[in-house]
Copies of this chain bind each other. A is one copy, B any other.
Amino acid sequence: MDIKEYVIEKASLAKTAARKMAILNTDTKNNALLAMADALISNMDTIIEANGVDMSFGKEKGLSDSLLDRLMLDKKRIEAMAQGLRDVASLDDPIGEALRMWKRPNNLKIAQVRVPLGVIGIIYEARPNVTVDAAALCIKSGNAVILRGGSEAINSNKTVARIISEAGEKAGLPQGAVSLIENTDRDAVNVMLKLNKYIDVIIPRGGAGLINTVVQNSTVPVIETGVGNCHLYVDDSADLARAIDITVNAKTQRPAVCNTIETLLVHKDVAEKFLPEVAKVLGSLGVELRGCQVTQSIITCKAATEEDYETEFLDLILAVKVVDSLDDAIEHIYRYSSKHSESILTNNYANSQRFLNEVDAAAVYVNASTRFTDGSEFGFGAEIGISTQKLHARGPMGLKELTSSKYIIYGEGQVR
C-alpha cells in the first residue's frame, strides 16, 4: 500500500468513526477516557521502553538537550498524561448545548446546538504527550482524531496511541476514533492536507516552520496555533516596582513558550529610572538584553536589530525599545506582533482603554503578565493550542473550540 492509500484508509475509518462519535453519550466518552488513563498506568513499562528507543536515536542524531527533554517520558510524565485524561473526563460535555433558541413569527422554533467538527487532524512535533492530550480533547468533544507526530517520537507515539485506542475501543469508542499515522515521511502530511473529503480541520502544533508549511499547503481548513511574538509596554504612569515583577515573570517564568514576551517597550519618561532596575534583575536571571539606541544610552547591552524585533526568541533574550508615546508603542506592536498576547502596564485609565481597543491580539492585558494566555489559566480546564488566527477560534482553545454548530428547526407544516 502506498502512502496515499495508507493515509486515506486511516482517514476513511476516522470519518466512519466520527459519525458514531457525534452521537455517543457522555458516559461512554468519559468511561473511555478513564479506561485510557488506566491503560497508560498499567502499561507504563512498555511506554518507557518504547520511549527509550526514541531517546537513544535522538542522542545518536544529536538532538539538543531541550528537544531530548521534550521527548522524554518517565513515570511522572506518564502519570501526568493519565491525569490529563481524567481531568478531561471531568469537564462538561460541550456537545448538545443549545447556544440559543428562539421562535419566529411563523412559529418555527430554531435552536443553534453545538455539534462536533467531525474529523480533526493534529500535526505535531516532538512531544509524545500531545498524542494523549489531543486525543482526550477530541474524544470528549465528539470528534474522531488523526494524529501525526514527528519522527523523533515515533516509537513512543506508536505505543501510546495503540494503548489508548485499544483501551478506548474496549470501553465503547468506535473503531478508528483515535488513530496515528505511523508513517513519518513528509509525504504523509502532504496527503492529509488535501483530504477535504475526510478531514474537517487540521491543527498544526509546533514551530513556525511546521505551521507555515501546513497553512501554505492545506486545502483542508486550518486553525493556526502558537507563534507568539508578544510585547510588554511600560507606560509612563506604570507602577515601576510592579513592572519589574511582571517583566521578570513574562520573560523568565518559562522562556520557551509562546506567551512569553520577546520585546519590552518602555515609555521615554520612565526609561532612565526603570531600565537600570529591570536590567539588573533580568541580568541576574541570565537574560540577554538587546536594546535600541536610546536603551543603549541608558544601560549597557547589545544593539537590537530589525530582525530581533521580528523574532520569537523562545529563549532568555529580550529586545528592548524606548518609545516616545503610547501611540509609538501601539505602532510598534502593530508592526511586529504575531497577535498572540500583548500587555500594557499603566495607571492611566484612558491609556488602558486605548490599548485594549486598539491593539489587535488574541489576548490583550492591562497590568498583568502575558503568561496567563493559557487554557488552564483562563479556566477552560484543558487546551489543544492557542489560536493566533481570527477565524473560528482565537486564543486558548478548549473543548468548545473543537465544536461546530447546527441549526435544528421544529416546524408544524410551515412553508414559505
Is A115 in contact with B360, judged by CB distance below 8 angstroms? yes
A281 within 8 A of B: no
Question: With A222-B221, A371-B416, A415-B245 given, is the CB distance from A362 to B407 under 8 Å?
Answer: yes
Query: Is A394 a contact partner of B414 (Cβ separation < 8 A)?
Result: no
Nearest chain B CB to A121 CB, angstrom units:
13
Q: What is the bound-complex CA distance between A253 and B416, given in angstroms?
A: 8
- Bound complex: CA of A262 vs CA of B209, how far in Å? 45
A386-416, CB under 8 A of B: which get 1 and which 0? 0001111011000000001111111111111
Known contacts A357-B23, A360-B22, A406-B395; is A414 also within 8 Å of B221 by CB? no
Given contacts A104-B377, A409-B372, A416-B371, contact A117 B391 (CB under 8 A): yes
Contact A108 B372 (CB under 8 A): yes
User: Is A305 engaged at the interface, CB distance under 8 Å to the other chain?
Assistant: no
How many interface residues does A have (CB within 8 Å)?
67
- Least Cβ distance of A294 to chain B in Å? 26
Q: Which residue of B394, B395, B407 contacts A364 across the interface (Cβ within 8 Å)?
A: B407
**Minimum C-beta distance from A5 to chain B (A):** 22
Main secondary structure of the interface of A (DSSP, over half): mixed
Task: Identify the closest chain B residue to A102 (Cβ).
Answer: B379
A110 at the interface (CB under 8 A from B): yes
The complex places the Cα of A337 from the Cα of B356 at a distance, in Å, of: 44
Instruction: Find A415's partner among B23, B104, B246, B394 (CB 8 Å cutoff).
Output: B246
User: What 1/0 flags go to A352-365 for Cβ under 8 Å of B?
Assistant: 00001110111111
Give the CA-CA distance A250 to B415 in the complex, in Å. 8
A407 proximity list for chain B (CB < 8 A) = 362-364, 373, 378, 394-395
B356:A390 contact, CB within 8 angstroms:
no
Are B200 and A414 touching (Cβ within 8 A)?
A: no
Q: Does A369 make an interface contact (CB < 8 A)? A: yes
Interface check A57, CB cutoff 8 A: no
Q: Which of A104, A242, A253, A413 neighbours the largest number of chain B CB atoms within 10 Å of its CB?
A: A413
Indicate if A201 sits at the interface (CB-CB under 8 A). yes
Give the contacting residue for A200; candidates B102, B215, B334, B391; CB below 8 A.
B391
Least CB separation from A353: chain B residue = B408
Contact B249–A368 (Cβ < 8 Å): no
Given the interface pairs A391-B117, A391-B201, A416-B249, the reply to whether A409 lies near B366 with Cβ below 8 Å is yes
Q: With CB as the reference atom, state the residue of chain B lying closest to A243.
A: B413
> Of A23, A216, A372, A377, which is in contact with the most chain B CB atoms at under 10 Å from its CB?
A372
Shortest distance from the beta carbon of A219 to any chain B beta carbon, whole Å: 6
Q: A201-B390, A223-B391, A367-B411 are in contact. List 6 more A-B contacts (CB 8 A).
A: A117-B390, A196-B215, A360-B406, A365-B411, A368-B412, A371-B415
Closest 10 CB pairs of A and B: A368-B411, A249-B415, A390-B404, A392-B392, A367-B411, A371-B416, A368-B414, A363-B407, A242-B413, A221-B391
Interface CB pairs A-B, < 8 A, 13:
A19-B334, A19-B358, A104-B377, A110-B379, A117-B390, A201-B390, A246-B413, A249-B416, A364-B406, A366-B411, A367-B412, A377-B416, A394-B404
